[in-house]
Amino acid sequence: MDAGKLKTIPVFSTIEPAILADLASIVEEKSFEAGGTVFKEGEEGDAMYAILEGAVKIVKMIDPAKGLSKDLAILGAGDFFGEMSLIDRSPRSASVVAAGPATLVRVSRQAFQDLLEKSAITAANLLFGIIQTVSGRLRQTNAELVTLYETGKTIGEAQQLQDIVSVVFRRLVSSTGAQCGLFVLRNELAGGLEIRDSEGFPAGQSALLKIVEDRGLVGRALRDGAAVLIADVEHDDRISKEDMEGYETPSMMLVPLHAQDRILGVIVFGHREKSRFTPNHLNLCLGVASQTAQAILNARHREEESARSKLHRHYVKF
């Protein structure tokens, strides 16, 4: 493959041109369609992969008998995965699936050993770069675990729906560094959508009314039920002019709230700078959204039971 492409990936960017050219000649460039499997959990690890274009999902099987799995992470261009295969032949700890059309670089264990023989210093620098990235991922994972724990604790203590919404929303806005956001829920009794909380959104009243009308990016997220990460809203091929309702910012995340095969609403995050949100931010929001959706259902059931109880007492009194 072209050494220039390889150099665009951060972990390879410091390798000397001559050695990079040699490495480029023995690595493989591989393309995957959306949903294509890069490798499966349990397979023998024999190569590391780096992402040239697109994104992949890291998927862990939870219940093989029922076919239940969980998305652990989303990695984008410049990221790498499967790096432990350069060191040992342990089985893959998770599966990797293309989140959309993706172009990857496959670095086999043999290619790494060849690099080690040609330049031990370069191989050591490559390993050091890998270790730095893995260390950063561990710190990020720790931060996510703390946020998930604190959010779960708060959700468990909160009884009122609005308390759950406000606490979760404010914590996620802070954790992601969002400048603005919306917490939108379906009103299952009256129909339509409700904006239950918001933060610094650069939108006038007319734009907010369009959100309530279930249109634009929010409406699409609610219909499709898929989380969306947007680096540059004006140059994203997935977004048409018809989707633009006036509340968009250059960087956005839209995270639907799923519970019991229903989409209860969507949380929207925005930033006025491009590429401010990362797959790690999206992973965190997805984890919290999963907890929050069930808590919302539980809170609604409590409110319904309370309303029925009050109505019953009213009739008895009458």
Task: Transcribe 12-77 into DSSP letters.
Answer: GTTS-HHHHHHHHHHSEEEEE-TT-EEE-TTSBP-EEEEEEESEEEEEEEEETTTTEEEEEEEEET
Number of other residues whose CB lies within 10 A of the CB of residue 259: 16
Q: Are 221 and 256 in contact (CB under 8 A)?
A: yes
Convert 212-242 into a string of H (helix), E (strand) and C (coil): HCCCHHHHHHHHHCCCEEECCHHHCCCCCHH
Tokens, residue 115: 């690099």
Q: What letter represents residue 106's amino acid? A: R
* pLDDT attached to residue 230: 93
* pLDDT reported for residue 51: 95
pLDDT at 138: 76
Whether the Cβ atoms of residue 183 and residue 197 lie closer than 8 Å to each other: yes
Q: Please give the chain's pLDDT, 318 residues, in tens.
A: 888 888 898 888 888 888 888 888 888 999 999 999 999 999 999 999 999 999 999 998 888 888 888 878 888 898 999 998 888 888 999 999 998 899 999 999 888 888 888 878 777 878 877 887 777 777 777 777 777 777 778 777 777 889 899 989 999 999 899 999 999 998 877 778 888 998 986 555 556 666 766 788 988 888 888 899 999 999 888 888 888 887 889 999 999 999 888 899 999 999 999 999 988 888 889 889 988 998 898 888 887 776 666 655 555 555
Query: pLDDT value at position 203?
Result: 53
Question: Would you say 253 and 236 are in contact if contact means Cβ atoms under 8 Å apart?
Answer: no
What is the bridge-based pairing of β-strands 28-32 and 102-108?
Answer: antiparallel
Domain ranges in the chain are 3-138, 158-317
CA distances from residue 49 to 75, 304, 305 in whole angstroms, order as listed: 11, 51, 52
- DSSP 3-state of 292: helix
Mapping DSSP to helix (H, G, I), strand (E, B) and coil, where does residue 108 land?
A: strand
> Number of H helices and number of E strands within the chain?
8, 13
Q: Do the Cβ atoms of 106 and 27 come closer than 8 Å?
A: yes
pLDDT of residue 120: 81
281-301 burial code (b ≥16 CB/10 A, e <16): bbbbbbbbbbbbbebbbebee
d(CA 247, CA 242): 13
Per-residue confidence (pLDDT) for residue 105, from 0 to 100: 94
Facing residues of 105 across strands? 29, 50
- DSSP helix, strand, coil percent of the chain (3-state; round to 5): 45, 25, 25
Q: Do domains 3-138 and 158-317 have the same CATH topology?
A: no
The contacts of residue 313 (CB under 8 Å, 6+ apart) are: none
Homologous superfamily of 158-317 in CATH? GAF domain (3.30.450.40)
Return the pLDDT at 165: 92
At 307 the pLDDT is 63
- Return the structure tokens found at 100: 């959309």
Residue 28, pLDDT score: 92
For residues 308 and 134, give the distance between their C-alpha atoms in angstroms, rounded to a whole number.
Answer: 53
Contact predicate 105/81, CB 8 Å = no
- In a 13 Å sphere around the CA of 268, the CA atoms on its Cβ side amount to 30
Q: Token digits for 309? A: 């109880």
Question: What's the rounded Cα separation, in Å, for the pair 99 and 234?
Answer: 21
For residues 69 and 87, give the distance between their C-alpha atoms in angstroms, rounded to a whole number.
27
Architecture of domain 3-138 in CATH? Sandwich (2.60)
Contacts of 89 (CB under 8 A, 6+ apart): 44, 45, 46, 109
pLDDT of residue 214: 72
